[in-house]
């Protein structure tokens, strides 16, 4: 069945270091891969997304890479700041999935000053 | 521009009761999706509505239903509430079925 595995579940880094979160998925028909940031008690916020015709996308300190052959994609945050601390979710979507996004289990990122 | 809005913010119900949650999408967006987020987990897809028709349904029992109105706002209804229905219910807005989904603040439902 459809499944998205996300690792690690928790990640602690020092301010200024880089953070990497990885996701693997099972449905080869997936062609849309968004990442959401959710701060405590707040809504998930779309921070970056990538489609299957692109291998990498960057937006300032955030980048996402996609390997469709291996069915995995990753979020890279450089020069981390304390305000990056939150839970990050990866998700997959596709034209054949009726608008459904399938989410990973989340990664709690803690950036220590 | 106003973002996605949801009401109510919090709700407390008892087992067996019925609940209606409401969502207004971003102006110009025609698609609304509903998700359930249990504490410590990622959101789980319940429904998607596009142009007032159901376009997708997740693995939830028939106690869950939804509809979309001519102004593209939406309601999620849950009948015969169970303790396990306690969760944050999120509404997401999109300008079509396959593009970026933007979430509302959610409704925190507690079933006692």
CA–CA separation, B24 and B36 (whole Å): 17
Half-sphere exposure at residue A100, Cβ-oriented, CA atoms within 13 angstroms: 22
Residue from the list B58, B90, B102 with its beta carbon closest to the beta carbon of A100: B58
Give the best residue of A93, A98, A104 to mutate against chain B (max B CB count within 10 A).
A98
Query: Which among A89, A66, A64, A67 is positioned nearest to B103, based on CA atoms?
Result: A89
Give burial (CB, 10 Å; 0-12/13-18/19+) of A14: exposed
Q: How many CA atoms lie within 13 Å of B111's alpha carbon, on the beta-carbon side? A: 18
Please tell me which of the candidates A6, A43, A95 has its beta carbon nearest to residue B90: A43
Q: Do A43 and B106 touch (CB under 8 A)?
A: yes
What does each of the 112 residues of chain B score in pLDDT, given as a tens digit? 579 999 999 999 999 999 999 999 999 999 999 999 999 999 999 999 988 899 889 999 999 999 999 999 999 999 999 999 999 999 999 987 667 999 999 999 999 9
Burial track A37-65 (b if 16+ CB lie within 10 A, e otherwise):
bbeeeebbebbbbbebeeeeeeeeebbbb
pLDDT given for residue A1 in this prediction: 62
Q: How far A56 CA lies from chain B's nearest CA (Å)?
A: 17
Tell me, what's the pLDDT at A52? 83
Q: Is the pLDDT of residue A17 over 80?
A: yes
Say how many C-beta atoms besides its own lie within 10 A of residue B80's C-beta.
12
Cα angle vertex A92, ends A70, B33, to 5°? 170
pLDDT digits (tens, 9 = 90+) for A22-45: 999 999 889 999 999 999 999 999
Span A85-106, mean pLDDT?
89
CA of A55: how far to CAs of A18, A84, A89, A90, B77, in Å? 20, 24, 19, 16, 40
Interface of B with A in 50-109 (CB under 8 A): 50, 55-58, 90, 92, 94, 97-98, 100-106
With a cut of 90, say whether residue A94 has pLDDT above it.
no
Residue A92 has pLDDT above 60, yes or no: yes
With beta carbons under 8 A apart, name residues in chain B contacting A49: 100
Distance CA A91, CA A3 (A): 10
Contact B31, B25 (CB under 8 A): yes
Residue to substitute from B43, B47, B60, B87, interface A, most A β-carbons within 10 A? B43
Query: A39-85 pLDDT, tens per residue?
Result: 999 999 999 999 988 889 999 999 999 999 999 999 999 999 999 99
Q: Chain centroid to CA B96: how far?
A: 17
Average per-residue pLDDT for chain A: 94
Q: How far B76 CA lies from chain A's nearest CA (Å)?
A: 16
């Amino acid at each position: 069945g459809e499944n998205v595995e996300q690792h690690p579940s928790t990640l602690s880094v020092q301010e200024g270091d880089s953070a990497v979160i990885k996701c693997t998925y099972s449905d080869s028909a997936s062609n849309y891969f968004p990442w959401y940031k959710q701060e405590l008690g707040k809504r998930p916020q779309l921070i970056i997304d990538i489609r299957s015709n692109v291998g990498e996308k960057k937006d300032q300190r955030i980048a996402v890479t996609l390997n469709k052959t291996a069915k995995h994609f990753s979020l890279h945050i450089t020069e981390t700041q304390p305000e990056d601390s939150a839970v990050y979710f990866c998700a997959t979507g596709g034209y054949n999935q009726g608008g459904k996004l399938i989410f990973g289990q989340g990664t709690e990122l803690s950036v220590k000053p | 521009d106003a973002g996605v809005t949801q009401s109510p913010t919090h709700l407390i119900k008892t087992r067996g009761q019925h609940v209606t949650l409401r969502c207004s999408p971003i102006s110009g967006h025609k698609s609304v999706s509903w998700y359930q987020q249990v504490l410590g987990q990622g959101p789980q897809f319940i429904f998607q509505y596009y142009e007032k028709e159901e376009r997708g349904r997740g693995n939830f029992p028939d106690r869950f239903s939804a509809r979309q109105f001519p102004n593209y706002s939406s309601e999620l209804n849950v009948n015969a509430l169970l303790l396990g229905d306690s969760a944050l219910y999120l509404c997401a807005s999109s300008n079509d079925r396959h593009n970026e989904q933007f979430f509302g603040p959610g409704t925190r439902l507690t079933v006692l």
